[in-house]
Amino acid sequence: MHSDNVKQGPARAAHRALLRAAGLQDGDFQKPFIGVANAYTNIIPGHVHLNELAAAVKEEIVKAGGVPLEFGMIGVCDGIAMGHEGMKYSLGSRELIADSVETMGKAHCFDAIVLLPNCDKIVPGMIMGACRLNIPTIVLSGGPMLTGEHGGQKLDLNSVFEAVGKFNQGLISAQEFHAIECAACPGPGSCSGMFTANSMNCLCEALGLALPGNGTVPAVSPRRVELARQAGKQIVSLVKKDLKIRDILKKEAFDNALALDMALGCSTNSALHLPAIAYEAGVEITLHLINEVSEKVAHLCNIAPAGPDHLEDLDRAGGVMAVLNELDKKNILHKDLLTVTGQTIAENYQDRPALDHKVIAPIDKPYHEQGGLAALFGNIARDGAVVKQSAVAPEMLRHSGPARVFDSEDAAYQAITGGKIKKGDVVVIRYEGPKGGPGMREMLLPTSTIAGMGLDKDVALITDGRFSGATRGASIGHISPEAMAGGEIALLKDGDIIEIDIPGKTLNARISAAEMEKRRQAWQKPEPKIKTGYMARYAKLVTSANLGAVVQ
């Protein structure tokens, strides 16, 4: 066992003495050491209950013959960090989390690890670190929040952001505004739509890293604690089988995850995180692969922000396994891949049919013929851009209009709320990419404000930054190369005609090559927005969004 490096033989007496001081006894030195990476914090609603799950995991590890060794993780709540400088640190925290898991696992010679994340960057960050360790790994998320309700209407976090736009327009009263704020997030869990956290937690099931139910069983359900118990028992079994994380994360597992991504209509952030996880697993994923999968996998679930359903509805309809079962009817999936259950992915879903075809559409009657995401390419996105096409109004799938160019999210938001954006405009937000932001801020505030003002069917937004999974409308992000790297988005001017063709997978500016080159010669790279500390170092090392914004 890896842990023998810190517990066996006369030379390790001092190591054992320290472990005894932490509570270990003679018999423990013959058992596997299981890391329990617990991202508990009382500032993130998706994480406030993780100590309860960690306790259940540790109890079952002991019963199964292992030694649980718990440690903490940092976490950024994207909703709280949204709309100010704090959001610059969100994506960058993914790399810190990956480094922390790697550091703790290597320094203490864990034989296996159970990851307890729940929200946005914490899920992929932990998995990336586990890939570097390459030991048996199970992901156990904290589960989704229940849906809020007010006035007979379902609510989620996005409802509050959109209420900001409605309130600013005078469409709702201050009393209604406050009532929505108080009702939207009723308790623990990751925000209840198919936003980034729930997207990644569902995708973990398709990757084979999580037990069935991981993505959909509500945070407050007793079934979530039972999942924790199963994870604690199963991780010791994986040690005995020596089934490592890279044995599971084959190229075909990412194909399965992308297929589920398209069927669910996942967050555009999955186009950042899946390539980043693949990078750490030694597998390559490109934006072109997203289009290849999207063209053959239909969109089966109309989950918020694209539609009225939420994660509790998906869970009631059979969860991720039922969606995979439906996809299997078109022979889309790789069936024989091993998963952390000890069975193949097909064995996991074979007896799990959809229980409600209003929530999980039949494969021959999908909500959309193509998957939820699309990658666009063109003269202002040579290396690609990403859009959640399932959440775009039909009339905005093709759109051309004059650019309204802003060098930051803050400047764009002021223009939007100031009534300076008109129907037909294409809002361009640049210098918000991985390097330029730095940190590639999510821009739920401007997109939800546009939607709340009733302009989501008239105004498009393109950026080298990114969007929350709660974003809907013609919001195109991840434009690569980014402005700070000299990408063509840096060369745009007010009034340039931007042509968006989502079905055609193109994004272009009506500018000649000669004019583009003239502007390039005149372009001057701006000063970094952050010059000291972690994000300054991050900006120097981070790669483009189309590569997953990994740090090399």
Q: What is the DSSP letter of 124?
A: H
Catalytic residue among 468, 475, 480, 544: 468
From the list 529, 433, 530, the residue with the least C-alpha distance to 486 is: 433
Does 78 belong to an annotated binding site? yes
d(CA 319, CA 349): 10
Report the DSSP beta bridge partners of residue 384. Answer: 480
CB 205 within 8 A of CB 191: no
DSSP state letters, 26-74: GGGGGS-EEEEEE---TTSTTTTTHHHHHHHHHHHHHHTT-EEEEEE--
Tokens representing 202 are 């569902």
From the list 309, 35, 101, the residue with the least C-alpha distance to 198 is: 309
Instruction: Work out whether the CA dihedral 348, 350, 354, 355 comes out positive or negative.
Output: negative
From the list 36, 39, 80, the residue with the least C-alpha distance to 236 is: 36
CB 37 within 8 A of CB 114: yes
Name the 3-class secondary structure at 210. strand
Burial class (CB in 10 A: 0-12, 13-18, 19+), 514: exposed
User: For the chain, how big is the Rg over CA atoms in Å?
Assistant: 23
DSSP state letters, 285-349: --HHHHHHHHTTS-B---BTTSSSB-HHHHHHTTHHHHHHHHHGGGT-S----B-TTSSBHHHHH
Report the DSSP beta bridge partners of residue 426. Answer: 403, 460
Instruction: Work out whether the CA dihedral 288, 492, 406, 305 comes out positive or negative.
Output: negative
User: Which residue's structure tokens are 């074979």?
Assistant: 350
Among this protein's residues, is 468 annotated catalytic? yes
DSSP element (H, E) containing 223: helix 222-241
Does 442 belong to an annotated binding site? yes
d(CA 148, CA 352): 28
Does 121 belong to an annotated binding site? yes
Which residues make up each annotated binding site for Mg(2+)?
A: 78, 120-121, 442
Which residues make up each annotated binding site?
A: 78, 120-121, 442
> Which residue numbers are catalytic?
468
